[in-house]
Chains A and B, each alone.
Chain A
């Protein structure tokens, strides 16, 4: 496998969407090609960072304003 083929498949590999033969080839390439290993690791890390549940906490004030607005609409609707 060439590096370019490897890059093109990294995304599918992360999805678990490649067949067994291609997966073996890709893993073999990743095992001996540092550049591709870096791209694979950092792509995985990129996704992991955006998914980190500790980040982008909903601020207390924002949440309070949201619930107050919804409550107002709810009460307005009943009347």
Chain B
């Protein structure tokens, strides 16, 4: 991709300013920076490549259309992730009403989470499976979480958003983010343990 080094060196807020003023190169550089992360978020959130591509396209198209309204009271990336999460959750809702699959509330906020599987894992499981296999394992395991827990895990642990940013995006308290993160991590660990534990 031909891009001027000047654009590549700028920080996000400078690029946002230029994109608002009509520079496509500036907008495209923002896309280049975050397209991979948004795609991964879409994959883990929706669990399949078709939906992930839709989430990716819709998120950037909406970001493009709504850029003039972006007031820059948060980072561009946080604003973009919020749009992508909404697109992803909309997909899940649509899928649920289409196929009447219950995906919400498989787990609730209450009660103890206790680890059950205490077997050691194989060392470096990612090296013992083909890349496509490990991706499928991760996507499917993420689908075992309810969307509310899954999203918290993806935003906090994978996308590196802060507790406060995650709380704002999801419209929940910071305490709820922490509680869900704890439960999501343990539950995912339990799922992966079924596959990665030493035989």
Q: Which residue of A lies closest to B181 (CB)?
A: A11
| Number of residue pairs spanning A and B whose beta carbons lie under 8 angstroms apart | 112
Q: How far is the CA of A19 from the CA of B154 in the complex (A)?
A: 26
- Size of A's binding interface in residues, CB under 8 A: 37
Asked if A22 is an interface residue, CB under 8 A from chain B, the answer is: no
Q: What does the 1/0 interface line of A41-55 toward B look like (CB < 8 Å)?
A: 111011101111011
The answer to whether B121 touches A56 (Cβ under 8 A) is no
The answer to whether A70 touches B126 (Cβ under 8 A) is no
Q: How far is the CA of A14 from the CA of B193 in the complex (A)?
A: 19
Asked whether A62 and B28 contact (CB < 8 A) given A55-B134, A70-B64, the answer is: no
User: What A residues does B53 contact at CB under 8 A?
Assistant: 62, 65-66
Taking the nearest CB of chain A, how far is it from the CB of B66, in angstroms? 12
B residues 147-161 touching A (CB-CB < 8 Å): 153-154, 157-158
User: What A residues does B142 contact at CB under 8 A?
Assistant: 50
A residues 1-46 touching B (CB-CB < 8 Å): 4, 7-8, 10-12, 14, 34-35, 38-39, 41-43, 45-46
Asked if A79 is an interface residue, CB under 8 A from chain B, the answer is: no
User: What A residues does B114 contact at CB under 8 A?
Assistant: 4, 7
Partner of B60 from A10, A12, A50, A66 at Cβ < 8 Å: A66
Partner of B138 from A39, A41, A55, A67 at Cβ < 8 Å: A55
Asked if B189 is an interface residue, CB under 8 A from chain A, the answer is: yes
User: What A residues does B126 contact at CB under 8 A?
Assistant: 49, 52, 55
Q: How far is the CA of A10 from the CA of B192 in the complex (A)?
A: 17
Partner of A50 from B138, B186, B193 at Cβ < 8 Å: B138
Q: How far is the CA of A62 from the CA of B35 in the complex (A)?
A: 10
Q: Which of A34, A39, A59 has the most CB of B within 10 A?
A: A39
User: What A residues does B61 contact at CB under 8 A?
Assistant: 69-70, 73
Asked if B185 is an interface residue, CB under 8 A from chain A, the answer is: yes
User: What A residues does B185 contact at CB under 8 A?
Assistant: 11, 14, 43, 46-47
Partner of B31 from A39, A49, A66 at Cβ < 8 Å: A66
Known contacts A8-B182, A55-B126, A62-B39; 7 further A-B pairs (Cβ under 8 A): A4-B112, A47-B185, A55-B131, A55-B134, A55-B138, A56-B36, A62-B49
